[in-house]
Amino acid sequence: MDKWLNVRSLVNADALDEIYRYEVFEDYYRFYPKTVVDHAMTNEKWIMIPEELKSLYQMVGRTTPLVRAYRLEKKLKTTNRIYLKREDLLCNGSFKITSALPQAYYGALQGKQKVITETGAGQTGVAAALAAQLNGMHCQVFMVRSSYQVKKLRRTQMEVYGAQVIPSPSEATSVGRSLLSKGEMNGSIANATSEVLEQIDQDQSSFNIAGSLFDFVLTYNTVIGLEVIQQLEKVKIHPDFVVGCVGGGSSFGGFALPLLDHYGHERTQYVCTESGSIPTLTQGTYDFDYPDGEGKSNRLLMYSLGYDFKPPSMHASGLRYHAASPLLSYFVHHGAIQPVAYDETLAMKSAIDFSRTEGIVASPESCYTIHAITELCKHHEDRNIIAMITGNGSLDLESYGHFL
Amino acid sequence: MDKWLNVRSLVNADALDEIYRYEVFEDYYRFYPKTVVDHAMTNEKWIMIPEELKSLYQMVGRTTPLVRAYRLEKKLKTTNRIYLKREDLLCNGSFKITSALPQAYYGALQGKQKVITETGAGQTGVAAALAAQLNGMHCQVFMVRSSYQVKKLRRTQMEVYGAQVIPSPSEATSVGRSLLSKGEMNGSIANATSEVLEQIDQDQSSFNIAGSLFDFVLTYNTVIGLEVIQQLEKVKIHPDFVVGCVGGGSSFGGFALPLLDHYGHERTQYVCTESGSIPTLTQGTYDFDYPDGEGKSNRLLMYSLGYDFKPPSMHASGLRYHAASPLLSYFVHHGAIQPVAYDETLAMKSAIDFSRTEGIVASPESCYTIHAITELCKHHEDRNIIAMITGNGSLDLESYGHFL
């Protein structure tokens, strides 16, 4: 791929102004590399990918394959043709490296020496650790303490990639010490983010790698969708359904928005799946709300269950977020993208059947996508369904174990 | 790939007669599918791969990529060109599915209904479980009890693929009950094999999937090496070094023997790495010995440390075997293949550096291969090094943790 599609260019200037009415993009310079912030503000349609980044993309496993799931089709007794975009084959195990690499690259280019980032179950941290390492930088990951204790293998994966992993709340920051003194031992992604921002504020050579939500994250992830367009055109396939899962929306945005731009939404339908326990897009409110969990940052126009909504514990921790990307929300609000919500048990059941049919153990988040494919096949015939497997589930096998 | 290279055809008839002087191939019919046994006995050079199997190979991820490791080259400051055969990208996580699929396929074709197999750390069991599932059969895996308790995620992976996993020694067989009554709680692969054979003897609809050692396993794995030849010819590369690791020898046999047949061993060198703690090929004796651990089966002409050698506990459990494939041993004995042995600590150190350079977390067995690449680069320049990563190390991250 030669360039990213800037997802902001898909929305007109007035709408963008409204969505970001309260946002102060200049504040981003404190925490993100200069070029990344430039990309967060530009409305240019295409952004060139530097040659070195293209090599890095190739090295981690891009272009990922788009494969036809013949056996799944047979199992579902469907006349639909199912194609899977295999982001699970990237060397870190998920799509996350796709946006982490450019962020690390631009940080290094600017002379920064250290990535400091937060992670819940670990996929964002793993990608940040590898991206930092491949760009010759140190990496410090504040990992939500409850996950730090349970998701040991993900922690080790970050350490293998050279990162220092710190359980959050930690003794390293004043906000961490304050939380610990109040007996807060589990931590949360909001707390970990606060620790990260405090650290970066004190060390000008450091910066944050964002894992979701921001437009620039979606933009960097558009290589996924742009690859799919090339792959579909090569075999002369027109997509009828484009299916993925949504937590913050960074994988689905990167996957679906280039297709939405290319194919429109007359002949092609875009279906994003969320958890029935966190029904942001299906039952949330489209209004201004805080992207953080404490009401401290600037409000964005997006679907939200309320910034004080506490997402319940669930296996697909990547879906645990109270809101969804403002741009993705915009397209849902305007009817270009259809959200659906599914129950975890149904999703995991479909995913286990899928493992037995296609041999792929998908990440818990993608289990919702797999269930959506199953549902689509009940109601449609002779269509082309293009779905994304966002990551592999090797390190989530314990979650599978609960449903066997 | 259209056909397998029968590895037996690479050795002349007199030598084969000598190697298998005490073997009674007809006994195999009790435990293996008819066509598999036919393949174990034929000397025909090529065996056609049935169309359905070709589809199954494609489905699980074959052809696997051969990628150039530019960053590793740079890190090692070498003028050598390093190519990696990525067997870690197969959907079960290792090369093992390559020989498990045809065994399951031929079993199903013959009307068999159940695979019963043994596994240590689980890679063989995972491949057998998936192969059985994809061919519509039940699968029962006797897993060495000590691994059953420690390698929980591999056990879950087998269960996700639909297998029933039983800790061995078990109450299910008389040999298991006898061992348990004597207080044997850890189990061993030899004990698990005994349980499997007892079960199969009692159920004519069942059969075993072999994971290593047998010529037919190497033959089925030759798609690996045959793919590499095609991939090298496409970019007009002549291999100078072919590098892999050896436990029983099934991955290296399938990888290296087609190249040995195609390129000879004048201009190309074949290097197989083993563990310094189990130096079968470097320090063992080339003579007749028992392939099992109890001296019950027929003796084979091969390198061995003695059938009663007890392999020490180590992270690369796939290398824990007292002997090596008779055919591989033959080529080592005749100087066509060079064995080397490395210390575990050195291998793991090279592998961690490799993860940080290429982003790939390799299986513990392949860590020895990675170390061999490093060593070759110290002594050679401007050569083409072709090495195989046999599997991914996601579920072995705990082993990595010990060396961080």
pLDDT digits (tens, 9 = 90+) for B107-125: 999 999 999 999 988 999 9
Please indicate whether, in this complex, the C-beta atoms of A160 and B59 are within 8 angstroms of each other.
no
Backbone angles phi, psi at A344, to 5 degrees: -60, -45
Residue B334 tokens, joined: 């005749």
B358 touches chain A (CB under 8 A): yes
Backbone angles phi, psi at B139, to 5 degrees: -145, 135
Please indicate whether, in this complex, the C-beta atoms of A359 and B59 are within 8 angstroms of each other.
yes
Residues of chain B contacting A398 with CB distance shorter than 8 Å: 152-153, 156
Please indicate whether, in this complex, the C-beta atoms of A70 and B60 are within 8 angstroms of each other.
no
- Count CB atoms within 10 A of the CB of residue A355: 23
Q: How confident is the model at residue A358 (pLDDT cuts 50, 70, 90)?
A: very high
ipTM of the prediction = 0.94
Please indicate whether, in this complex, the C-beta atoms of B91 and A360 are within 8 angstroms of each other.
yes
Q: What is the pLDDT of residue B328?
A: 98
Residues of chain A contacting B349 with CB distance shorter than 8 Å: none
Q: What is the pLDDT of residue A310?
A: 86
Query: Stretch B120-149: mean pLDDT, rounded?
Result: 95
Q: What is the pLDDT of residue A106?
A: 98
Smallest CA-to-CA distance from A220 within A96, A59, A34, A110 is with: A96
| Residue among B55, B152, B360 minimizing CB distance to A91 | B360
Inter-CA distances, A226 with A213, A230, B39, B161, Å:
20, 6, 46, 33
Whole-number average pLDDT of chain B: 96
| Residue among A71, A156, A162 minimizing CB distance to B397 | A156
Residues of chain B contacting A400 with CB distance shorter than 8 Å: 156, 160
| Residue of chain A minimizing CA distance to B350 | A160
Smallest CA-to-CA distance from B275 within B372, B164, B136 is with: B372
Over residues B31-67, the pLDDT tens digits come to 999 999 999 999 999 999 999 999 999 999 999 999 9
| Residue among A70, A133, A156 minimizing CB distance to B400 | A156
The three-class DSSP label of residue B141 is strand
Q: What is the pLDDT of residue B372?
A: 98
Over residues A298-310, the pLDDT tens digits come to 999 999 999 999 8
Please indicate whether, in this complex, the C-beta atoms of A355 and B161 are within 8 angstroms of each other.
yes
Q: Say how far apart CA B18 and CA B330 lie, in whole Å.
A: 11
Q: How confident is the model at residue B264 (pLDDT cuts 50, 70, 90)?
A: very high
pTM listed for this prediction: 0.96
Q: What is the pLDDT of residue B68?
A: 97
Backbone angles phi, psi at B303, to 5 degrees: -75, 135
Instruction: Answer whether the bond into residue B102 is a cis peptide, omega within 30°.
Output: no
Q: What is the pLDDT of residue B109?
A: 98
Q: What is the pLDDT of residue A304?
A: 97
Whole-number average pLDDT of chain A: 96
Q: Say how far apart CA A210 and CA A102 lie, in whole Å.
A: 11
Smallest CA-to-CA distance from A113 within A141, A139, A87, A149 is with: A139
Residue A380 tokens, joined: 């449609």
Answer whether A387's CB lies under 8 Å from A243's CB.
yes
Please indicate whether, in this complex, the C-beta atoms of A91 and B358 are within 8 angstroms of each other.
yes
Please indicate whether, in this complex, the C-beta atoms of B160 and A404 are within 8 angstroms of each other.
yes
Q: What is the pLDDT of residue A296?
A: 86
Q: Say how far apart CA B259 and CA B7 lie, in whole Å.
A: 11
Q: What is the pLDDT of residue A150?
A: 87
Q: What percent of chain B has pLDDT over 90?
A: 91
- B123: part of which helix (H) or strand (E)? helix B123-134
Over residues B284-323, the pLDDT tens digits come to 999 999 998 888 899 999 999 999 998 888 898 889 899 9
Q: How confident is the model at residue B200 (pLDDT cuts 50, 70, 90)?
A: very high
Q: Beta A285-289 vs A300-304: how paired, if at all?
A: antiparallel
Q: Say how far apart CA A250 and CA A324 lie, in whole Å.
A: 9
pLDDT over 90 at B129, yes or no:
yes
Q: What is the pLDDT of residue A166?
A: 98
Inter-CA distances, A32 with A38, A137, A141, A323, B304, Å:
10, 15, 16, 22, 59
Over residues A243-253, the pLDDT tens digits come to 999 999 999 99
pLDDT over 90 at B236, yes or no:
yes
Inter-CA distances, B110 with A353, B85, B135, B137, B206, Å:
26, 33, 12, 12, 11
| Residue among B130, B161, B359 minimizing CB distance to A91 | B359
B401 touches chain A (CB under 8 A): yes
Q: What is the pLDDT of residue A336?
A: 98
pLDDT over 90 at B341, yes or no:
yes
Q: How confident is the model at residue B185 (pLDDT cuts 50, 70, 90)?
A: confident
A362 touches chain B (CB under 8 A): no
Smallest CA–CA distance, residue B333 to chain A, in Å, is: 38
Q: How confident is the model at residue A40 (pLDDT cuts 50, 70, 90)?
A: very high
A152 touches chain B (CB under 8 A): yes
B92 touches chain A (CB under 8 A): yes
Please indicate whether, in this complex, the C-beta atoms of A70 and B55 are within 8 angstroms of each other.
yes
Query: Which residues, listed in sequence order, are joined to residue A384 by a DSSP beta bridge?
Result: A81
Over residues A216-244, the pLDDT tens digits come to 999 999 999 999 999 999 999 999 999 99
Q: Say how far apart CA B180 and CA B177 lie, in whole Å.
A: 5
The three-class DSSP label of residue B383 is coil
pLDDT over 90 at B342, yes or no:
yes
B394 touches chain A (CB under 8 A): yes
Please indicate whether, in this complex, the C-beta atoms of A60 and B359 are within 8 angstroms of each other.
yes
B196 touches chain A (CB under 8 A): no
Please indicate whether, in this complex, the C-beta atoms of B358 and A162 are within 8 angstroms of each other.
no
Q: Say how far apart CA A400 and CA A398 lie, in whole Å.
A: 5
* 8-state DSSP, B296: -
Q: What percent of chain A has pLDDT over 90?
A: 91
Q: Say how far apart CA A240 and CA A262 lie, in whole Å.
A: 13
pLDDT over 90 at A332, yes or no:
yes
Q: Say how far apart CA A292 and CA A394 lie, in whole Å.
A: 30
A62, A82, A91, best to mutate vs chain B, most B CBs in 10 Å? A91
